[in-house]
Structures are given as structure tokens and as C-alpha cells.
Amino acid sequence: MIRIFHHSFVLALLAIALVVVPVTINVAGTSAANYHWAREQSKFRLRVGDNVSGNWNKLLRSTLRDWNKNDTVTLDGVGGSSNPRDCRPVTGRVEICNSRYGTRTGWLGLARLYFARGGYIDAATVQMNDSFLNAGGNKYNTDAARRHTLCHELGHAIGLDHVTTRSCMNNSQHAVFNYLKPIRSDFRRLNRIYDHRDDGTTVSSASATSEEFAVSTSLPAEPSGRDATESVTVQTLEDGREVVTFIVWAKN
């Protein structure tokens, strides 16, 4: 799950990443801010690549319908352009993947934001860990946990932070099994985030050719003592892009 930070805090994290790669920070109680995609109109369309399989396809379609009740960003489900195992980013769009990513580091879902020069989101990926969410005998192997995790991570990919309401953007363990959809207050926050025009765009148009680019990212070590439910790493790629990875950890 993603936590969005005050802009000054984000810049501080990215500045640190230029020196130390990767940086791992456990997050709890950090205030929200506005990561966002650059676009030239307040209302825009964002392509979401479907790299999921099995029941995830139905869940993705219903989650897109839930988010598309907002009046700001229309999420267009399109064919995926990434290998689910690697879930590499594609410029100008969000790629959604699922796979058995393993239990050695115990996470349910993660989202990665790739930043273009200027600090705008240039690409995003969302990964669902079937090793927890589709594993027999696991408490997270429920439609509720899968729906919440997908809804939550996709919300982060478009710029939303955590809340304490009955929204899927709530990051509590109770929410994982009970709060499965976005609500009106999420849509109002999207409107506030994108209620302006940028000078350019990082969003791929339907006619544009998007490019998958190679990345070298790694997962952080599981938080010691399991006190933290979330962590964030900041990394700098060889091409100079900054990558912020947000992870929610499974609870025993």
C-alpha cells in the first residue's frame, strides 16, 4: 500500500536516494500530499494494463468500475504490456500484475511509482502477491482481501493517500476485510489533486506508443519485530529516474 507524503518530505526522500540506494523507511502516521500525473487538462484518461490472470480479471474489471465513478480520472483497462513475474513499468500508464511472488518477505501487495524529471509520475506498477492472497489456508485468501488490496493499490497509483474512513484507502487490518471500495470523499480528493493544468503530460494517449523500460529494483527487508505495517524505499535507477516503492506487510 502506498503512503503519500508532504511534497517537501518527498523531495527530502528523493534527495537521500541520490546518495544511498536503497533507503528503507517505515511509515506510520505520515501526513498526505499530492503525487500526481502531469496532464494538460483537469479531467483525463489513464490506461491500466491488465497483466492479471484467473479471478483477478473479474476483480480488476469491477475495481475499475468502482474507481470510474469519480469525475476526474477515467481508468481505461487495456491489454497488459508487462510480464506478470517482473511487472516492469510502461511509460504513461499503470501496469497491474499478479503472481506467486513468495513468502520469504511477507507482503500482500505493493505499488511502485516511477518519477520523470520534474517530479511527476511517469509510470506505475501494482503487484498482487498470490503467495498470500491465493494460498490455501491463508487468512488473506478471501475475495474481500483481494478486492481491498487491488482497490487500495490502484488508488495509490493515481495519487491518493491513506484515510481513516470506510474507504478501501483505509490501511488498517480491519479495512482489508471490510472496506472494499472507494467512496465519495476519495473522489473529492482526486478532484482537489488534479484541479489544475500542467504544462505537459506524462500520461500516454490512446494513440501513443508506450515503452516498457528495464529496471533494477529490490524489495526491502521485512521490518524487524513486525512493528511496522508498511515500509517505503526510494531508489535511483541507472537512467536517473527515482522509484518509490510502497509495501504493506502481511500480519501473522
Please give the pLDDT value at position 102: 87
- Whether residue 48 lies inside any domain: the answer is yes
- Residue-wise pLDDT tens digits, 12-35: 444 434 333 343 333 333 333 458
Confidence grade of residue 221 (pLDDT, cut at 50, 70, 90)? low
Q: In angstroms, rounded to a whole number, what is the distance separating the alpha carbons of residues 240 and 237?
A: 5
Backbone φ, ψ for residue 235 (5° rounding):
-130, 155
pTM over 0.85: no
The model's confidence at residue 225, banded by pLDDT at 50, 70 and 90, is low
In a domain, 138, yes or no: yes
Greater confidence (70 vs 29) lies with 70
Note whether residue 2 is domain-resident. no
Give the tens place of pLDDT for each residue, 134-193: 988 889 999 999 999 999 999 999 999 889 999 999 988 899 999 999 999 999 999 999
What is the number of structural domains in the chain? 1
> What's the confidence (pLDDT) of residue 162?
86
* 144 φ, ψ (degrees, to nearest 5): -60, -50
- pLDDT of 76 reads 97
pLDDT attached to residue 26: 35
Instruction: Give a yes or no: residue 240 inside a domain.
Output: yes
53: in domain: yes
Q: Has residue 235 been placed in a domain?
A: yes
Residue of higher predicted confidence among 112 and 240:
112
**What is the predicted pLDDT for the residue at 1?**
39
Domain that holds residue 136: 7-249
User: 57: how many CB neighbours lie within 10 A of its CB?
Assistant: 13
Q: Would 1 be classed as within a structural domain? A: no
pLDDT at 59: 98
Q: What is the CATH number of the domain that holds 100?
A: 3.40.390.10
Q: How far apart are CA 142 and CA 160, in angstroms?
A: 24
Residue 223 has pLDDT above 80, yes or no: no
What's the CA gap between 88 and 136, in Å, rounded? 28
Q: Is the pLDDT of residue 72 over 70?
A: yes
Cα dist from 213 to 7, 120, 227, whole Å: 26, 17, 35
